[in-house]
Structures are given as C-alpha cells and as structure tokens.
Structure 1
Amino acid sequence: MAFLRTSLALAALLAALSGPLSAQEAKVAFGGLAQDTSLPVEVQADMLSVNNADGTAVFEGNVLVGQGEMRLAAARVQVEYGRDGKSIARLHATGGVTIANLADAAEAKEALYTIDTGVIVLTGDVLLTQGSSALSGQKLTIHLKDGTGVMEGRVSTVFVPGGN
C-alpha cells in the first residue's frame, strides 16, 4: 500500500512538472547562489595583464575568483573597472566556467557578472546542479541579490525526490 501511495504521489509530481521539463524557459530558486554583492572580489591566476587605456585587466590560467561564499573558476577572466578606476564593474569569464556556492553549482562556456546589479549570465551548454537534481539549458541568468534565476534554451531537468 505504501508503494502504491508513493507511486501515485510521484506520478502526480511528474505530471505537474511535465510542462516545465521540456519548456524553453524555467524559473528556479537559487537560494544557495544568493550573494552579498558588496563583498570584496578576490582574484588569483597564473598571469595578469593590465590595460590602463581601456580600464581592463585580463587574468589567465587557472583563474579563481572569490566573493564571500561564491567561487568562480575559468581559464580566462577579463575585469572591467568602474569609472573611478578602482572598483570592479564587470567580470567576463571564458573557458570551462564553474560557479559554486554552498550546495549549488553551475557550469558553462562563458559567464558575465555585473557587480552593481548582482546579475550573472551564463551561456553555452549550461548545467546547474542543486543537491542531487540537475537542470540544463543554453542560458542561465542568476540574480544574486535575491537568489532567483531563469534558465532558457531547450531546458531539460532531472528531479530526484527527497534528494535536496
């Protein structure tokens, strides 16, 4: 009897979720990726080149970026400085990008992080894992200030009941 009840509950859950499973867009809670965007940004890399003329710096080779609990890893990160020449306005990461915070992690070919707005846009074969559940698509927009986001581009997912 318990098996039947569990099977019916699982069937109802799958029926309720069947629309978003093959949708072009899915809204997802990213509680683990919520972040205080006013915290300092730390960067480590094998090499750094600075261009004062256009206000950019390029970190290359095993780049690791940290802000609070959030970590970003990539082959290359271009930093665009703000008008004051000191604060960071945007980070553009390319080459095997991974962003992780607590139990959530996202992988993509590329990521653009605008510090002031607290928005990260990941593009290119995006894979998000939350606990034992996974969600994939072509573009993931994460709003760090409130921990919400939207996955777009032939969204596909696997839910593991009780896995999170």
Structure 2
Amino acid sequence: MTMPRLLIIALTLLASPAMAQEIGFGGLQADVSAPVEVAADSLSVEQDNGRAVFTGNVVIGQGEMRLSAQEVTVEYADAKQSRIKSLHAKGKVTLVSGEDAAEAEEASYDVEAGNVTLIGDVVMTRGNNVLTGDQMQVDLATGTARVDGRVRSVLQPGGN
C-alpha cells in the first residue's frame, strides 16, 4: 500500500572479544511515555498478525529522540493496534538524541521496557569521542548503555 511521502502517525504510548563496557550517555535518554511519530515513503499493514511495515526513508520520533532506517516493522501489543509493543529497524539505522548519535545495521526497540538494542557494527559518537562495538543496549529511562563485542573507544582529552 503506497502512502504520501511524509506519512505521520501519532501513537500514544503507556512507548575486546567477549568484553563489555557500561557507559552513561545522558543524551540517549528519552521520555518513553511520549507519543511516537512515524514518517515513511510507504506503509503495509498486516491486520492478521498485528504488524505494520514502514519502508523508505523511515523516521521515528519520540520526544527528542530520532531513529531512522530504510525499513521499520512495528508490532502491536493488542489486536486493536492502539499500543506499540516493539519496533525493529534495519538498513542504515541511526539513533540520535541530544549530542549523542549511534549507527548500526539493525535496531530493536522494546517500547514497553524502554530499551533499544543496536546490532552490527555499532558506532556511537558524542562530539569527537567515538565508541564502537558489535552490540549496544540502551536504557532510555536512565540514559545508560552497555556495549558488547570487540569494544573500541577513542576519547578526546578534555572531553566528557
């Protein structure tokens, strides 16, 4: 099903190898109770399994947080499709909040728990500081993150 270029739907929510590094990135905090807005080139609704698939230049916003990808699948928590359970993004995924930005191959957002998991070649930046890993889990309520896999960080002197 093809929709206008900027389809916006406001949905209210009730929304080294084997080494890991836990970090605090305050910018990746989000108001998990704020409405979720979705814009995309097209939308396909699958009523029978409670899913909606947004494709083409997808941008999702919740408060100050923005997630963009080529495709995002929305799974609903109920048959009425009034409450989002989770989002799964793939293809050039970017997550931005405040001065923090993260890129990955895929991302899953458990809306009910308020957690985002970025998977595959994760790169997170804050100013000139860079952190990379295989997977990153972010608790949006607290702004803390955990990076797993081959973790590498470049911290600039005098930076946060």
TM-score range, shorter chain: 0.7 to 0.9
Paired residues of 1:72 and 1:97 also in contact (CA < 8 A): yes
1:120 aligns with 2:116: yes
Larger Rg: 1
TM-score when scaled to structure 2? 0.87
Cα distance in 2 for residues equivalent to 1:30 and 1:90: 22
| 4+ aligned runs moved over 3 Å, structure 1 | none
> Are 1:69 and 2:39 an aligned pair?
no
Give per-residue Cα distances to partners, 1:64-104, cap 9 Å, x unaligned: 00000000010000000112521111000000000000100
2:22 maps to 27
> Structure 1 residue 162: deviation in Å?
1.5
Q: Is the 1:76–1:95 Cα contact (8 Å) retained in structure 2?
A: yes
Instruction: Quote how far apart the aligned CAs of 1:161 are.
Output: 1.3
Q: Structure 2 vs 1, CA of residues 22 and 55 (structure 1 numbering), >3 Å: closer, same or farther? A: closer
Give the counterpart of 1:60 among 49, 52, 55.
55
- Displacement of 1:48 in angstroms is 0.2
Percent of pairs identical after alignment?
49
Aligned residues: 144
Could you say which structure has the higher helix fraction?
1
Instruction: Give structure 1 stretches of 5+ with no counterpart.
Output: 1-20
Task: Output the CA distance in 1 between the equivalents of 2:72 and 2:96.
Answer: 16
| SS state at 2:27 partner | helix
SS at match of 1:53: helix
Contact 2:66/2:97 (<8 A) preserved: yes
Equivalent-residue separation in structure 1 for 2:26 and 2:122 (angstroms): 18
Contact 2:105 2:120 in 1 (8 A): yes
Give the match's secondary structure for 1:32: helix
For residues 112 and 88 of structure 2, the distance between their equivalents in structure 1, rounded to whole angstroms, comes to 14
- Does residue 88 of the first structure (1) align with residue 57 of the second (2)? no
Task: Measure, in 2, the Cα distance between the counterparts of 1:111 and 1:152.
Answer: 14
